[in-house]
């Protein structure tokens, strides 16, 4: 059965010349990712072509094992592509070594994970500040205050992750991810460990980041309802992108 879909985004309103003038902030060309299980090669990504324009929010959906996380890790520079091209804000990750990808990640990419992945020994303030420390610009109190206020974290900054709810922890993780104004925010099932109420809060936060601050977001999700918060939905199956249902 062939599924014909129309992928819509808010950029559909732009005229053709305006749209053509926009360079993708993220672009993959014939992207392959192969894992080796002993002597067996397992392709997680099979020739993926994927574009994201600046300011877009894209949800990537698909069954478990379809390659969503692998796509996220490769475009985020956490893993290396086996074949093909990955361009992030004009930087070709394909031939970059670990040190260069680390540098790129530091300056251009923010990650949010399903399991929050906060450092358990630091407070919320420390977890956010360490991202600034690693970035190398040091503590910026103004940016810190803007981000924590926007995410409603002012009263929780002195608490450690074990003293916070899942929703609060994920908001701290989002704050950590955006504190250095990354070009792209990559979210790996950020609502996977949250209840409905906190999921809605986190998704709304992400939507506001995209709409109000123009943050480019690529999010992996299993949750069809989550896609309503995003401009565009992309479906994956067996390591390739297939057309999917529109966001609304």
Nearer to other proteins, 61 or 118 (CB): 118
Cα 202 to chain centroid distance, Å, stands at 13
- β-strand partners of 52: 26
Q: Which helix (H) or strand (E) holds 44?
A: strand 40-52
How far from 55 is each of 9, 139, 155, 212, CA to CA, in Å? 11, 26, 30, 10
Q: Decide: 188 and 69 in contact? Cβ < 8 Å.
A: yes
Per CB under 8 A, 117 contacts other proteins: yes
Using CB under 8 A, which of the segments 3-11, 104-112, 202-210, 234-242 binds other proteins?
104-112
Site string for other proteins, 134-173 (x = CB under 8 A): xx---x----------------------------------
Instruction: Give the residue among 148, 172, 149, 175 at the shortest CA–CA distance from 162.
Output: 172
Judged by DSSP in three states, 221 sits in strand
**CB proximity list for 51: less than 8 A, separation 6 or greater:** 24, 26, 27, 28
Per CB under 8 A, 44 contacts other proteins: no
> How do beta strands 184-188 and 216-221 pair?
parallel
Per CB under 8 A, 103 contacts other proteins: yes
Nearer to other proteins, 32 or 211 (CB): 32
Smallest separation, CB 134 to other proteins (Å): 5
Per CB under 8 A, 78 contacts other proteins: yes
**CB proximity list for 215: less than 8 A, separation 6 or greater:** 55, 178, 185, 209
Smallest separation, CB 125 to other proteins (Å): 10
Among 7, 130, 150, 157, binds other proteins (CB under 8 A): 130
Using CB under 8 A, which of the segments 115-123, 194-202, 211-219, 238-246 binds other proteins?
115-123
Per CB under 8 A, 129 contacts other proteins: yes
- Binding region for other proteins (CB under 8 A): 73, 76, 78-79, 98-99, 102-103, 105-107, 109, 111, 113, 117-122, 126, 129-135, 139, 176
């Amino acid at each position: 059965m062939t599924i014909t879909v129309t992928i819509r985004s808010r950029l559909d309103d732009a005229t053709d010349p305006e749209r053509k003038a926009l360079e993708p902030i993220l672009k993959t060309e014939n992207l392959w990712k192969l894992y080796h299980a002993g002597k067996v090669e397992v392709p997680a990504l099979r020739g993926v072509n994927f574009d994201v324009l600046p300011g877009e929010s894209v949800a990537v959906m698909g069954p478990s094992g379809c390659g969503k996380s692998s796509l996220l890790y490769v475009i985020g520079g956490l893993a290396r592509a086996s074949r093909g091209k990955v361009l992030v804000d004009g930087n070709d990750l394909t031939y970059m070594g670990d040190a260069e990808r680390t540098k790129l990640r530091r300056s251009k990419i923010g990650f949010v994970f399903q399991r929050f992945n906060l450092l358990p020994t630091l407070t919320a303030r420390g977890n956010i500040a360490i991202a600034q420390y690693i970035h190398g610009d040091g503590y910026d109190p103004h940016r810190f205050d803007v981000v924590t206020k926007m995410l409603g974290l002012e009263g929780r900054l002195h608490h450690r992750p074990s003293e916070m709810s899942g929703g609060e922890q994920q908001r701290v993780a989002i704050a950590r991810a955006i504190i250095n104004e990354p070009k792209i925010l990559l979210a790996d099932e950020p609502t996977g460990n949250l209840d409905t109420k906190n999921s809605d809060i986190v998704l709304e936060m992400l939507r506001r980041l995209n709409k109000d601050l123009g943050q480019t977001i690529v999010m992996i999700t299993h949750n069809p309802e989550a896609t309503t918060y995003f401009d565009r939905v992309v479906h994956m199956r067996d390591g390739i992108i297939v057309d999917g249902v529109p966001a609304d």
